[in-house]
Each structure stands twice: as C-alpha cells, then as structure tokens.
Chains A and B, each alone.
Chain A
Amino acid sequence: MSKKLIELQNITKSYNGVVAVDNINLSIRENEFITFLGPSGCGKTTTLRMIGGFEEPDEGDIFFDGIRINDLPPYKRNINTVFQRYALFTHMNVYENIAFGLRIKKVPSKEMDKRIKRMLKLVDLEGFEKRHVDSLSGGQQQRVAIARALVNEPKVLLLDEPLAALDLKLRKEMQIELIDMQKNIGITFIYVTHDQEEALTMSDTVVVMNKGVIQQIGTPVDIYNEPKNRFVADFIGESNIIEGIMHEDYLVEFSGKKFKCVDKDFAKNEKVDIVIRPEDIDITTPENGLLEGIVTSVVFKGVHYEMLVESQDYEYMIQSTDMQPVGSEVGLTFNPEDIHVMKG
C-alpha cells in the first residue's frame, strides 16, 4: 500500500445555498488512478476544482502531503489539470502551449526543449510543434492538453471528462493510452466521468457519487459485484433490484420464495434490496427453475439476447445466449453467490 497523498476531510461546498458537495471524506494514495463517477450535477467537477484550488470548501479541510491547502492558490500547488474542453491557448502553437508552464518556472531552454520533445513523443504528436492548436482534431487537442499538464511533472493530474468530446472508437483508444501513461510515469490520476464503463475499465478505485454525497468507494470489481445500495447497483451496469426480507444469515426471501445466499450480518427479518445481475440468471424449464415466469420481450444485442421475464411480482431482465420466444413459460435459475443482498 503506497502512502496517502491527498486527504479530504468533511468537505462541504454550496452555491447560493444549494449544496453541491456534502460532507465528503476521501483519501487518495500515491500513484492511484481514482475516478469520480456519478450522474450529471452530482458534484464531481466541484470536488475536482477544490483539489485543484479553483474553489475553496465552505467547510472541512484538504490536505496534500500532510499539509492543509484549503486556501493555497492553484499556481502554488503541485497539481495540474486537463480541463473539460481542454482550454488550450489559441494564440500559441502546440510547442508554446506545452512550454507555458516551463517558461513560467524559468526552466533553462535546453532542458525545456528536451522535456517538450519527450512529452510530444509520449502523446504521439511528434512533428506537430509548429501547428496551430485550432487546426488539430479533438483527439490531438486532448493530447496537447495532457502534454501541457504532464510536462510540469506534477504529483497529481486532474482530468475532468477529458474524453467526453471524442467518438467511441477514439475514446476507447485514448482510455488505453491514458492507463499506459499513468502506469509508465507513475503519478496519481484523479479522473472524472459519468460513464460507468469508462470508470470500471480505467480505475484502481472508483468513487460513486450522487447528489453531492459519496455512495461507495471501492475497486471496480467491488463496486460491480458488491454495490452498497440501490443507487450504486442501478448506476453501475444493468441490474435486477428486488425488495426482500433477510430471515437469518445466509437465508433471504424474495418473490415469495426463500433462497440460500452468501450474505450475513443483517438484523433478523430486516428489509433488504436484492441485486441479481442479468447475466447471472439462466433460463431453464419451468419445473427446473427457482422462479417461474413468462417471457414478455426479447431483444437481440449482438453477443446475447436480452429478455424480460414477468414473474409473480417482478419483471426480471436476463441476458443469455439461448433465446426463448415471447409468451413462452420459463424457469429462472441462479446460484447463491449470484444473489447480492444490500440494506434496503
């Protein structure tokens, strides 16, 4: 476990009385790739801007390397940012954009040139030095923005939805490039996105937020497999979320039946929410199923079919390669470990 680099303690921030970030606690380790994930307006950008020094928290403290930095201006922080729309300097060419931070720090011109050349190579833009930034494609501009930030060798790089403006194919490529870069140069990335797939693919740690409140912090696998509540389960991937009752350890009741499960430590007969991922449910004959239902819709999704099965009190979504036509009676089976029980 590497050491803690940034620590947010009880951070609250509101705009004109509207709370944007509500009592956030979070610590970020060295060399971590951490992602803020959540729907629009949940406070991701606000949190990032407080770390960058563009906003001051109303309450709480931010520590960097153990030092409180609440009111340290951005130009004194060892942090650089890739802005949402890049904010490249349009009156400068690519080289001058990247040189900006180094010129301010009065880095000798020989060393500056060497560092810029290395950056251009890293972001695959060699030969673009003299190009005007307006003449670059979205992906190229984005890479200039990254080079402009990274050339300063910050300890932390903040990225606010840096790929949002790119098309799907380029986005996927850039995701991989970013992960490679982060591993190669070994710095902390704090990344913002509202794309759950992007968050799961790229991050070491995902912070799921909603309405200014952190819902869950965990590895992508944890977040996917063990969502803490209904919001996280719903936001991360597609899920069946069913209300039920936890009778005792390892025994849960929903859809009118009792099932074995792997969860424990709930109060006796506590009301709970149950998550079963659509890909964990298998279709079988009615007599072999744990639950029975009627297929109400079938959609072909390429790799699999997506079916809706109406059982007695819930419409289950199922992703499976064997298709049953609409109207047929089917049985549903799943394993105890596919059932995930959350506090209701």
Chain B
Amino acid sequence: MVMKLIKKIYMSLIFLFLYAPILVLVVFSFNESKSRGQWGGFTLKWYAELFRDRDIIKALYYTFLVALLSSIISTIIGTFSAIGIHNMGLFGRKTILNINYLPVLNPDIVTGVALMTLFVSINLRLGFLTMLISHVVFNIPYVILSVLPKLRQMNKHMAEAALDLGATPFTAMKKVIIPEIMPGIITGALMAFTLSIDDFVISFFNTGSGVTNLSIIIYSMAKRGVKPSINALSTLMLITVVILLLLINKRTTKGDELLP
C-alpha cells in the first residue's frame, strides 16, 4: 500500500520534471506582463507580435517549405530504395539495412558537420538548397524504415499476380505495389515532415545566406535575451509537432486497417 503510494508520487515527480518547463513555457506565452516572474493577465499580444515580425514570418515560410519539399523528395527516394532493398538477396539486404541505420543512430551534430564539410568542399554555397539537401538526407532512412515493414507484410507473389493479369512491370508498380504499401509511405512522409520541422542542429550547420528556420530563429532570439514572443513561437511549434506525432502514432498502432 505504502509502496504503491511511493511509486505514484515518484511517477508524478518525474512527469512534473519532464513537463513543468513546457507547461511554464506555454502558460507564459499568454502572460500580459513582460517580466517572467509574475502573471499579468491573459493576452494574445505576443502571438500577434510574432506575425508582425518579418524575420519570423520568413523563417516560418522556410521551415514549412523545407519540410514539405524534403518530405516529398525523401518519401519518393526512400520508397523506391525500400522496394529495391526488399528485392535484394539476404546478404545485400542486411548490409544496406545496417548502412541505413547508421544515420539514424549517428548524433545529429556529426551528420550536420559532415554534410557542411561536404558542401563546403564542393564549393556549394550554404543556403536554402544545402538545407533542403541535408533534410532530404536525414529523412530518407526514416522513410525506408517505415515502408519496409509494409513490403514484408505483403504477399510475395503480389507483383507476379499483377503481371499475370496482364499488367506491365510499370503498371504493377503503380496499380498494385505502391497502393499496397501506401499506409507505410504516408507514415514515412509524416515522419519526415515532423523531423524536418523539429530539426535544429543539422539546419544550423547547413544553412546560410540569410535563410533560417524557426528553430534557428528561436536560438538566436534566446541568445539576445528571452522575450515572451519566443514562448509564443515555441508553443506554436510544440503544438504542430505534437499533432503530427499523434497522427503518426495512431497510424502505426492501428496502421493495418488504414486504407489510403
């Protein structure tokens, strides 16, 4: 009985530590008073201020543009890679999969610096394009990892059945294979989109020429001292990412019944 109580208190404390900062952040984004220590009444003025700030609007635009483009590109590349990997022999498949895991496990900072070194060494000016490429690169493995299980679940004669019924290999891919694995593709795309919005470290090293995203803006604003509008911006990002994560989570737990 006592043990149970202790356990409950312990759990609550952990959750408090984890979520208190986020909660404070969200609450203070609605704080009228500029000082952090006291509550001055409810307001939305910091949110309004956000949308008057041209730098922030620009960063918002780049964030979503990069997220959209990189998730589309990495989904296309990742899906076809997954199909290729799936059709490989056992040895090739294992090797490629291990290579695929590497960027997933690699610390972001290493990936970020490595990509930057590459871009600099081939004289590519850091900017929108390099940021986009770096996002595509770190997204591809996640797309592969979410498409592969769908391919494994598929009856191994599915493609042959399509050919058998008169479909050319191209039609079989378009009309049968892609639709069959569509739930995995959509999950992969959502994941790529989320990771892209979420990313700070890799973007930080691989952008330039005045192109920034929201994470970088928050970082530079915070360096100049915390303004309440940072709280507002962070809250908005938090809500977006949480919604996306919930969506992905729902798809992967009951993904099997989901039809495209």
Contact = CB atoms under 8 A, between A and B. Distances in A.
| A and B are partners in one complex rather than unrelated chains | yes
Interface of A: 52-54, 73-75, 79-81, 83-91, 100-101, 104-105, 148-149, 152
Determine the main DSSP class of A at the interface with B: loop
Chain B, interface size: which category? 20 to 34
Contacts of A84: 157
Nearest to B181: A91
Given A91-B180, A104-B171, A85 B157 contact: yes
Which 7 pairs between the two chains have the least Cβ-Cβ distance?
A: A101-B165, A87-B157, A87-B161, A74-B163, A87-B155, A104-B166, A91-B179
B259 interface: yes
B44 to A, nearest CB: 45
B160 A54 contact: yes
Nearest to B168: A75
Determine which residue in B160, B161, B165, B175 has the highest number of CB atoms from chain A within 10 A of its CB, and name it: B165
A10 B117 CA distance: 61
B166 A101 contact: yes
B163 A83 contact: no
6 contacts: A73-B163, A75-B167, A89-B180, A104-B167, A149-B164, A152-B166
A89 B176 contact: yes
Contacts of B176: 89
Contacts of A87: 155, 157-158, 160-161
Given A84-B157, A91-B259, A105 B166 contact: yes
B162 interface: yes
A74 B168 CA distance: 9
A290 to B, nearest CB: 54
A105 to B, nearest CB: 6
Contacts of A81: 160-161, 164
A80 B164 contact: yes
B260 interface: yes
Contacts of A52: 160, 164
B182 interface: yes
Given A74-B164, A75-B168, A152-B165, 8 more contacts: A54-B160, A83-B161, A88-B155, A91-B182, A91-B259, A100-B167, A101-B165, A104-B165
Contacts of B167: 75, 100, 104
Contacts, number: 64
Contacts of B157: 83-85, 87
Given A74-B160, A90-B180, A91-B179, A100 B155 contact: no
Determine which residue in B155, B163, B166 has the highest number of CB atoms from chain A within 10 A of its CB, and name it: B166
Contact of A75 (B155, B163, B179, B180): B163
B163 A89 contact: no
A229 to B, nearest CB: 34
Determine which residue in A84, A91, A152 has the highest number of CB atoms from chain B within 10 A of its CB, and name it: A91
B160 A100 contact: no
A64 to B, nearest CB: 15
Interface string B239-260: 0000000000000000000011
Interface in B118-164: 155, 157-158, 160-164
A180 B30 CA distance: 76
Contacts of A148: 165
B169 to A, nearest CB: 8
Contacts of B158: 87, 89
Nearest to B256: A134
A30 B168 CA distance: 27
A79 B165 CA distance: 9
Interface string B204-238: 00000000000000000000000000000000000
B154 to A, nearest CB: 8
A90 B180 CA distance: 7
A54 B161 CA distance: 10
Contacts of A75: 163-168
B199 to A, nearest CB: 33
A75 B160 CA distance: 9
Nearest to A54: B160
Nearest to B183: A91
A138 to B, nearest CB: 14
B182 to A, nearest CB: 7
A148 B162 CA distance: 11
Determine which residue in B158, B161, B167 has the highest number of CB atoms from chain A within 10 A of its CB, and name it: B161
Contacts of B166: 75, 101, 104-105, 152
Contacts of B175: 100
A73 B176 CA distance: 18
A194 to B, nearest CB: 18
Contacts of A54: 160, 163
A54 B163 CA distance: 9
A91 B163 CA distance: 17
Given A101-B166, A104-B171, A89 B160 contact: no
A52 B165 CA distance: 11
A75 B180 CA distance: 20
B260 A91 contact: yes
Contacts of A101: 165-166
A169 to B, nearest CB: 25
A84 B158 CA distance: 11
B182 A100 contact: no
Contacts of B165: 75, 80, 100-101, 104, 148-149, 152
A260 B238 CA distance: 95
B247 to A, nearest CB: 20
B155 A85 contact: yes
